[in-house]
Structure 1
Amino acid sequence: MDKALMAMSLEEEDEPFDMMDLPEYSSCERNVFSIIGRLLNPECQKMASLILDMPRKWQKYDRARGVALSVERFQFIFDTENDLDEILAKGFQTFNEWGLAIERWVDVPPADYLQFVPLWVQLRNIPVNHYTIEAITTFGDVVGQVIEVAFDPKKSQSRGFVRVLIKFDVSKPLRKSKVFNLPRGAGQATIEYFYEKVQKRCYSCHRLTHEQNVCPILVKMRQDQAINRRLGKAFEKPPQSPVLKKSDPLFGVLEEKQVGLHPILGRPCIHPEVLEGMRQYLLVVDGEERKIREERVKKSVLEAESSETSRKSILRLEPLPIIAKDPLKGKGLVFGYSSEDSSTQSERIRPNGPKLLSAAIHAADPNSKNSGDIIMQNERWFNGL
């Protein structure tokens, strides 16, 4: 025992082990037809239940197998690529009424892997003079990067909303509304947002990752209030560090508000790759040529900021949205809103048909005179589905 203890050293460096690069050590070939997912609220979503239940929910019980990768990450491997594509085409999905982030497997995942989910959003109260693709895209960009706009200005609109598909950051809250200042003194407009397929969220911060009783913002608020009571003064947040430091080639060329996070969108005003390109453009020269290039950079940024389309495509490197002619493409249910289009009713009603819930109650009553007729009528109704 003494010899073994003497042979051990606390100062010994823990060198990483080199994994062999051999085919039998890699599962990449098997992973080609697979998706990787993340539980957005692991406290309310049991991994074991998800692995068993999701194939049945997808109606692919014998063609998909799940793997629990960690407490919140999972993988589903499909027999065919058609099954995989069908699942991804469903868009935003939930388990136990809380959301899931799902993406196709990639060999080397990017830094923001499983950080975004696709959401169809209904935009309501759009001003009559702003029913254009560009304006609708701007309204939708407030809640997430707009990928697709389901709107055809040449067709009649029978519903009081326009739908957009957004790339939503799950760390952000679901904004319920936003006030826009309209140009030419036309006043203000409040755009309301209704999210399809989203069932549960925190009712304090409106995020998809926790329930209200464990909301980090409420916890932080209580902690700050406790600090204020102990110190007898207001607790001040530390200021955010600037993006442009004095050593940055763009310092003095662009303003901080041009390169930082957009105060409303929550995304960088200028993509980091664009900023790095500007820096390299300035670093390769000195003297008068440097000053000339600095003026070019200023002018180019101002021109790109002149329209939201150029801001989106040139500065933020976001692709322009796809225009869908079908206004109901991929339409899902809206939960928790008092809207005629939301499916929060407890009874499904078929035109000229019975209310299923009330009919079932009457049918269960042995004293009902027409209980037999109602049962037969409901059976015919279900068979017709």
Structure 2
Amino acid sequence: MSYCLAKFKLEQDRPLGFSQQFHQPPSTKALGIEKVGAGTRIILFLLVMDGLLNEALQSMSLDDDKPIDLPDDEDYSAVQVNAKSLISRLLNPECKNMARMLKTMPRIWKVYDRVRGIALSKESIQFIFESETDMETVMKDGIWSFDDWSMIMERWVENSPLKFLKMAPIWIRIRKIPLNFCTLKTIDAVADRVGQVKEILFDPEKTRFQEFVRVLVVIDVEQPLRDTKTINLSRAAGSAVVDIEYEKIRKKCFHCFRLTHEKQKCPLFLSQKKRPERVENQRIETRINSDTPGHKTQQHHTDLVDKIMPMLAPSIPPGFEPRPNMVVPEVFEEMRLYMNCLDPAEKAIREHRMRVALDDLSKNPVAQRSILRFEPPPRISAELDKGIGKVFDYRNVEMAQAEERMGKRQSESLVSQSEAVEKGKPNPSLEPVNAVGLEVENITLWVKWAQSKGSIQQVRS
């Protein structure tokens, strides 16, 4: 009935005061009805509205929002403008003022009005340069800092890789390498545990005035930057601890050694304060695992036979591959095809050759990087001061601030004790902050109070 009524043309009259924005009920003549009452007209109107409402509800859908197709036109693309831009990532955005940084960084780079910044998100910024030379100059200096927290930059690319704005090249300084093991391969092995080695500044035949060796590495900014590394020496020489310093890196978390937050907001530190014993055990376990050969941040692997050979078994289905920092997918696929042999005798020979090759690569970090990961070998340079930067140690600043707070509490305690002496008996509830220094002060205060009361003279007499 409602379907039929919806097809009738509605008259222009306004019966019973209905508004023009609603559809009018059909005329009674069109329905073949000569005389109708007001109630019949209302029923007809509701029937028409019910039909229209059903059609509207049926046409509604959650998938009604169709995507917008942009034409392949230069007016819709910003590729040419972005070609001369750098994308910056703030590693600790909570400690930085975005607006102030956008105004300050061009002055630090000395490009002034030749660059403009655009805030993309809470932690990412785009800097668009007018000159290619200015952009390359900024990129040449590597990692930058603002308000003592690091920020990394990479050149804009149309299709960002997976590790975009997650890796950064920095110079490190390696100190306290044992004299009998201060060789190029030892330096490479130590630096390889920090990141991907790009360049080593070392010349054993040249006079060296520095007590450290500088190496350019590419680090993962989301991983800890530890200040020491333990190396096991050969020929029953025991072990040694070498110090690692990071140039141009200012502040970091001194609890988990990451660059993304400060110690007061470290998740591990806050959890440890709530559950000290359990979290401390987890932290020790994490520290031990991070120094073991199987940790994911390690670049050089000494047990390739145990890690790769099980994955080359015929029973392993496709998709189970080692991590890219061990073997790139292209090389692993070639290894899989080489081991795919039906002849048992030939298969045993190939398995033996593969084991020997992986064992040799486990002992040679340079060959391991070039053959298994297609990484170029590190450059060796004798220019020891190349791109040298400052080393910052904010731990000393924190210690100084702690000592300052300690001295302030000591002063407040002494003032309270002095006021108590002036009023009468010193307050024994004021415990000394420094068990050695303030104990003498407390004794002196007690002596002064006793002298004022005449107790000492009575004892002496």
Structure-1-length-normalised TM-score? 0.73
2:99 maps to a residue whose letter is A
Is 1:145 equivalent to 2:196 in the alignment?
Answer: yes
Deviation at 1:227, TM superposition (A): 9.4
Deviation at 1:276, TM superposition (A): 2.9
Is 1:181 equivalent to 2:232 in the alignment?
Answer: yes
2:356 maps to a residue whose letter is K
Map Cα deviations across residues 179-237 of structure 1 (whole Å, 9 max, x no partner): 11111112222110111111110111010001112212234556777999xxxxxxx99
2:195 maps to a residue whose letter is G
Aligned to 1:62, the other structure's residue is in SS state helix
1:153 maps to a residue whose letter is P
Measure the CA separation in 2 of the matches of 1:305 and 1:96: 42
* More displaced stretch, 52-61 vs 127-136: 127-136
Measure the CA separation in 2 of the matches of 1:252 and 1:148: 41
* More displaced stretch, 110-119 vs 305-314: 305-314
- Counterpart of 2:376 in structure 1 is 319
- Counterpart of 2:386 in structure 1 is 329
Aligned to 1:171, the other structure's residue is in SS state coil
- Counterpart of 1:109 in structure 2 is 160
Q: Determine if contact 1:98/1:200 at 8 Å carries over to the other structure.
A: yes
Highest CA radius of gyration, 1 or 2?
Answer: 2
Is 1:9 equivalent to 2:61 in the alignment?
Answer: yes
Aligned with 1:286 (options 326, 339, 342)? 342
Which has the bigger relative contact order, CA under 8 A and spacing at least 6?
1
Is 1:274 equivalent to 2:325 in the alignment?
Answer: no
Change (3 A) 1:295 1:243: closer
Deviation at 1:96, TM superposition (A): 1.4
Is 1:305 equivalent to 2:362 in the alignment?
Answer: yes
Aligned with 2:170 (options 107, 119, 142)? 119
Deviation at 1:13, TM superposition (A): 7.0
Q: Determine if contact 2:309/2:355 at 8 Å carries over to the other structure.
A: no
Aligned to 2:93, the other structure's residue is in SS state coil
Instruction: Identify unmatched segments of 5+ residues in structure 2.
Output: 1-51, 280-284, 287-294, 296-305, 401-461
Deviation at 1:336, TM superposition (A): 1.0
Aligned to 2:112, the other structure's residue is in SS state coil
Is 1:157 equivalent to 2:208 in the alignment?
Answer: yes
Measure the CA separation in 1 of the matches of 2:244 and 2:113: 39
Is 1:20 equivalent to 2:76 in the alignment?
Answer: no
Map Cα deviations across residues 117-148 of structure 1 (whole Å, 9 max, x no partner): 11111110011122322211111111111111
Q: Determine if contact 2:254/2:395 at 8 Å carries over to the other structure.
A: no
Deviation at 1:17, TM superposition (A): 3.8
Q: Determine if contact 2:144/2:151 at 8 Å carries over to the other structure.
A: yes
Q: How does 1:1-385 map to 2 (within 5 A)?
A: 7-10=59-62, 12=63, 16-219=67-270, 221=272, 249-250=312-313, 268-283=325-340, 285-288=341-344, 289-336=346-393
Q: Determine if contact 2:224/2:259 at 8 Å carries over to the other structure.
A: yes
Change (3 A) 1:31 1:139: same
Measure the CA separation in 2 of the matches of 1:140 and 1:155: 21
2:327 maps to a residue whose letter is I
2:374 maps to a residue whose letter is L
Change (3 A) 1:126 1:30: same
Deviation at 1:324, TM superposition (A): 2.2
Change (3 A) 1:48 1:6: farther
Change (3 A) 1:217 1:317: farther
Aligned to 1:153, the other structure's residue is in SS state coil
Measure the CA separation in 1 of the matches of 2:375 and 2:64: 45
Map Cα deviations across residues 341-377 of structure 1 (whole Å, 9 max, x no partner): xxxx9xxxxxxxxxxxxxxxxxxxxxxxxxxxxxxxx
Measure the CA separation in 1 of the matches of 2:67 and 2:248: 44
Change (3 A) 1:216 1:337: closer
**What is the aligned-residue identity percentage?**
40
Deviation at 1:249, TM superposition (A): 4.0
Measure the CA separation in 2 of the matches of 1:6 and 1:287: 65
Instruction: Identify unmatched segments of 5+ residues in structure 1.
Output: 229-235, 254-258, 262-266, 340-344, 346-385
Measure the CA separation in 1 of the matches of 2:394 and 2:122: 32
Change (3 A) 1:180 1:5: same
Structure-2-length-normalised TM-score? 0.62
Map Cα deviations across residues 280-311 of structure 1 (whole Å, 9 max, x no partner): 4345x434355544443333222222322222
The structure with more helix, counted as a fraction of residues: 2
- Counterpart of 1:351 in structure 2 is none
Measure the CA separation in 2 of the matches of 1:274 and 1:224: 46
- Counterpart of 1:378 in structure 2 is none
Deviation at 1:5, TM superposition (A): 5.2
Deviation at 1:251, TM superposition (A): 6.6
Deviation at 1:173, TM superposition (A): 0.7
- Counterpart of 2:448 in structure 1 is none
* RMSD after superposition: 3.4
2:170 maps to a residue whose letter is L
Deviation at 1:271, TM superposition (A): 3.3
Measure the CA separation in 1 of the matches of 2:70 and 2:339: 43
Q: Determine if contact 2:144/2:248 at 8 Å carries over to the other structure.
A: yes
Measure the CA separation in 2 of the matches of 1:327 and 1:227: 46
Q: Determine if contact 1:244/1:251 at 8 Å carries over to the other structure.
A: no
Aligned to 1:204, the other structure's residue is in SS state coil
Measure the CA separation in 1 of the matches of 2:347 and 2:68: 48
